[in-house]
Amino acid sequence: MPQLDLGVIAAIIGAIFLGSYVAFVKISKLNPNQFLFLQLVFAAVATLAITFYIKEPFNYSLRDMAYPAAAGIFFAIALSLVFFSIKTIGIGKSGAIYIGLQLVVATLTGFIFFNELSPLSYIQKIETVIGIILVLAGVILISIAKL
């Protein structure tokens, strides 16, 4: 039996946390923007505590901050839209749509911009493309379903 990679375990745990934390959005009395603001504040404090715990130094230049700043803006916009979606169409439908499309976008980003498809065999490439098509089909079916 092959040994499970720690990266895979971390991805699974992260997916469970990301998939379940949206329930707090649904049960919260706050509007999505208020929830997003408070969530980001608490996430920043928790991340800062973790960073200090693992003793990573903060010696970054202003230029090093460009990518995290852009990613933070994308993240805030994305979560605002996701929270709005959860409040209007529910967790089940919204989660399936945004997580499915997030999976496709992340996969294609890795393939297109970081050449992560090249080490795969021809069969693995075909399997990957079929997987992406199946995820997209699932997203379409869930989005038109009467949940």
Range 121-146 average pLDDT: 91
Q: Is the per-residue pLDDT at 137 higher than 70?
A: yes
Tokens of 71: 């990613």
Q: Is the per-residue pLDDT at 59 higher than 80?
A: no
Q: Please tell me the distance from the alpha carbon of residue 112 to that of residue 108, in angstroms, as a whole number.
A: 6
CA 35 centroid distance within chain? 18
34-49: per-residue pLDDT in tens? Answer: 888 898 899 889 988 8
Q: Please tell me the distance from the alpha carbon of residue 138 to that of residue 135, in angstroms, as a whole number.
A: 5
How crowded is the C-beta side of 12, counted as CA atoms within 13 Å?
6
SS (H, E, C) 31-48: CHHHHHHHHHHHHHHHHH
pLDDT given at position 86: 86
Q: Is the per-residue pLDDT at 4 higher than 80?
A: no
Q: Is the per-residue pLDDT at 1 higher than 60?
A: no
pTM of the full structure? 0.73
Q: Is the per-residue pLDDT at 19 higher than 70?
A: yes
pLDDT given at position 42: 92
79-101: per-residue pLDDT in tens? Answer: 889 888 888 888 889 888 998 99
